[in-house]
Homo-oligomer: A and B are copies of this chain.
Amino acid sequence: MPESPEQSSLDSYNPKEFDTPIYSVDIAIFTLHEGQLKVLMVERNEYPYKDYWALPGGFVDLKKDSNINATARRKLVSKTGVDAPLLEQVSTIGNAHRDPRHWSITTLYMALIPYAPTAEFIEAVNEARWFPIEEIEQLQLAFDHSELLQLARERLKNKTAYTVLPIHVLKRPFSLSQLQKAFELLMDTELEKKSFRRRLLNADVLKEVGEGIPDGGKGRPAALYEPADGSENHLFVRVFGD
């Protein structure tokens, strides 16, 4: 950290208050599109890691942000153009080497969002792009963002097994088949149709809002659902897909 600007004037300040690490937030924003789980990445245009892909993120704005969740939300909105139905903390990682310039700390968030409302905005600002998750896992990302992404991906998988998290990546209303597909992509495993339907329908987390043929356009029309009030917090007593 010799190049850190704080270092030069350290002597004149109380080290206990002043010698503090750099703090930022990073967000893994997930969606579903073309039958794939995708994550939003931004291309860095500054050193270090210039031209590398990175998770969206940034520093706390002490004037604008009343808390760190607000920081995450502000960054999310600035990249996607809209708010996300799910934004939550995953973990905080801090060490001496993750940023070559500083001892630095980041709080990692994950967000889930339906693809549609973001598509146009993201096309317009060319620094951001949706990547299929398998594709991004091949690339070398900026800083420790490969590890951060891995952490978020794990959390996503785990929580999907005992919550209704995947409702947040779907446009409303949705059919049970679409919802099952969302569960399967987020968990990265196949689920048994009958078990899936029984579990969701018995849990009182969905309300039926009609019937129709979802976008694909073939076969028998499906019942369409929206999340019931408070369903976001539903916890199943047993994990699913084991």
Residues of chain A having any CB pair with chain B under 8 Å: 1, 3-6, 8-11, 13, 15-23, 46, 58-62, 65-68, 89, 91-96, 103, 105, 107, 235, 237-239, 242
Contact = CB atoms under 8 A, between A and B. Distances in A.
A6 B10 contact: yes
If over half of A's interface residues share one DSSP class (helix, strand or loop), that class is named, otherwise mixed; here it is mixed
Contacts of A66: 95-96
Number of copies of this kind of chain in the complex: 2
A3 B58 contact: yes
Nearest to A108: B92
Contacts of A8: 10
Contacts of A61: 3
29 contacts: A1-B46, A3-B58, A3-B59, A4-B59, A5-B6, A5-B10, A5-B22, A6-B10, A8-B10, A19-B59, A20-B20, A20-B22, A20-B23, A23-B105, A60-B94, A60-B105, A62-B103, A66-B95, A66-B96, A67-B95, A67-B96, A68-B94, A89-B91, A89-B92, A92-B92, A94-B107, A237-B238, A237-B242, A238-B238
A66 B104 CA distance: 11
A237 to B, nearest CB: 5
A96 B20 CA distance: 17
Nearest to A68: B94
A238 B240 CA distance: 10
Nearest to A13: B13
